[in-house]
Chain A
């Protein structure tokens, strides 16, 4: 798996993407309490910035309305 600069991703970088995808899945669960939704969104937005910084993905997760 390569990053946007064309380099092989490190295992930490791959785990970072997995962590984000995990949050995305959690956010899709039905009937989450407002406190859970808000804090999951905060966490997802924060992780997304690290993904942008490291150039791991260029697409924005618009469907999450972050």
Chain B
């Protein structure tokens, strides 16, 4: 077996022109199949006057209609439980998953076949291998293995690669830390937030992570995995490298991963996905280096074809040549930068939770934090950051937090931030997707 740094050397280093040709052929077959087998997609394509046989290459992608979460949900409402989107009989499915539904919305329900699961794991293999995971590794999953799809595919990827999986299911945090130490885990998979939570627990248990066995953390599930300050903090507390990945239930797997060169962004797995970046207001494509909304087309999931799906994720695409690894796959600089709908409007100023986190994480004195919004005197919106002091950082905490407050104000056009210390253990801890925004305003000003 070759000792390639790439999981799939053929496509990961393919000249862009060849890659486009490959994507075009896959697109053509996928659209024809979706039109023939999925009533949902047939409706959309027919409605837009698209004749599948006239899709010849990647240039035709723009002629296809967008798919939205709303339309997907609507079809699931009309044809319970999975809508009429499936391109294969329900009997072909071997697994059911759904979105975590933390925002109070109805969950999105998905089914995958045997082949889909092999492909889901495959996409994770690009990421794990690309970040340096090899068969001799022992990979610990801080993951609850339930209906949220999360790291399921990563688990199978490790088995496929021949690495040893250490599952942790519903274990408590102290038990997880003990298993990592006892089993000599070399790789740990978690959300960025939970990676910090485990590090805190390790300190309390007297477990020395920095000089321990873990060499790599692979994080997913939150934009924080690519925030430099958050990443630096995780790396310092674990004495290990952090690699970011991002996926979504709508795709079943990851569509981007950070390679071992850690270029400050993540490569798009372009032989299995086409990623466009558009202006969310106009729907027009934006160029390299410009921020916009991710729109994804997936070639690999058989039961659920995904065509030009509006993800609401904000990204900036740059050429793969920015990274020294030799991959030709484009990069998302800084990973997922937030969500189109995440923006909070506070007295006319735009506040992005990710930007606040990027500032807060520059201050190691802060352990956990929360962004709180409320209405003062029935009319005036206020914003604040509540924080807990990291143990051992008591001295000088007040001074550091005063600087943090100034930093927040300076980065938000003078908008005043109230910064309030709360006792350790007050703020919620998260295992899956962290939600650090508590919006108690009477009228919520959003995007």
- Chain A residues at the B interface, C-beta cutoff of 8 Å: 3-7, 41-42, 45-46, 48-49, 52-55, 58-60, 62, 65-66
Identify B119's interface contact among A3, A49, A59, CB under 8 A: A49
Interchain CB contact under 8 A, B8 and A53: yes
Q: Any chain A CB within 8 A of the CB of B30?
A: yes
CB distance from B56 to the nearest CB of A (A): 13
Contacts of A62 in B (CB 8 A): 33, 37, 88, 302
CB distance from A16 to the nearest CB of B (A): 12
Interchain CB contact under 8 A, B26 and A58: yes
CB closest chain-A residue, reference B271: A55
With A and B bound together, what is the CA distance between A4 and B113 in angstroms? 24
Question: How would you classify the secondary structure of chain B's contact residues: helix, strand, loop or mixed?
Answer: helix
Interchain CB contact under 8 A, B118 and A55: no
Question: What are 8 pairs between A and B in contact, CB < 8 Å?
Answer: A5-B14, A45-B114, A48-B118, A53-B11, A53-B271, A55-B11, A59-B33, A60-B115
Interchain CB contact under 8 A, A66 and B114: yes
Interchain CB contact under 8 A, B92 and A5: no
Within 8 A of A (CB), among B72-108: 88-89, 91-92
Q: When A6-B21, A58-B29 are in contact, do A52 and B114 touch as well, CB less than 8 Å?
A: no
Interchain CB contact under 8 A, A52 and B22: no
CB distance from A9 to the nearest CB of B (A): 11
Interchain CB contact under 8 A, A49 and B118: yes
Q: Any chain A CB within 8 A of the CB of B377?
A: no
Q: When A41-B114, A58-B26, A60-B302 are in contact, do A49 and B122 touch as well, CB less than 8 Å?
A: yes
Interchain CB contact under 8 A, A45 and B118: yes
With A and B bound together, what is the CA distance between A52 and B23 in angstroms? 11
CB distance from A47 to the nearest CB of B (A): 9
With A and B bound together, what is the CA distance between A52 and B253 in angstroms? 16
Within 8 A of A (CB), among B22-39: 22, 25-26, 28-30, 33, 37
With A and B bound together, what is the CA distance between A21 and B116 in angstroms? 19
Q: Any chain A CB within 8 A of the CB of B153?
A: no
Q: Any chain A CB within 8 A of the CB of B300?
A: yes
With A and B bound together, what is the CA distance between A46 and B125 in angstroms? 13
CB distance from B10 to the nearest CB of A (A): 6
Interchain CB contact under 8 A, B26 and A48: no
Q: Any chain A CB within 8 A of the CB of B299?
A: yes
With A and B bound together, what is the CA distance between A5 and B19 in angstroms? 6
Contacts of B37 in A (CB 8 A): 62
With A and B bound together, what is the CA distance between A55 and B20 in angstroms? 12
Q: Any chain A CB within 8 A of the CB of B272?
A: yes
With A and B bound together, what is the CA distance between A65 and B271 in angstroms? 23
Q: Any chain A CB within 8 A of the CB of B18?
A: yes
Contacts of B18 in A (CB 8 A): 5-7
CB distance from B29 to the nearest CB of A (A): 4
CB closest chain-B residue, reference A60: B302
Contacts of B119 in A (CB 8 A): 49, 52
**Nearest 10 CB-CB pairs, A to B?**
A58-B29, A66-B115, A5-B18, A4-B25, A5-B22, A45-B115, A4-B22, A55-B22, A45-B118, A49-B118
Interchain CB contact under 8 A, A59 and B29: yes
Identify A58's interface contact among B10, B25, B114, CB under 8 A: B25
Interchain CB contact under 8 A, B8 and A48: no
Interchain CB contact under 8 A, A48 and B115: yes
With A and B bound together, what is the CA distance between A42 and B156 in angstroms? 14
Within 8 A of A (CB), among B1-56: 8, 10-11, 14, 18-19, 21-22, 25-26, 28-30, 33, 37
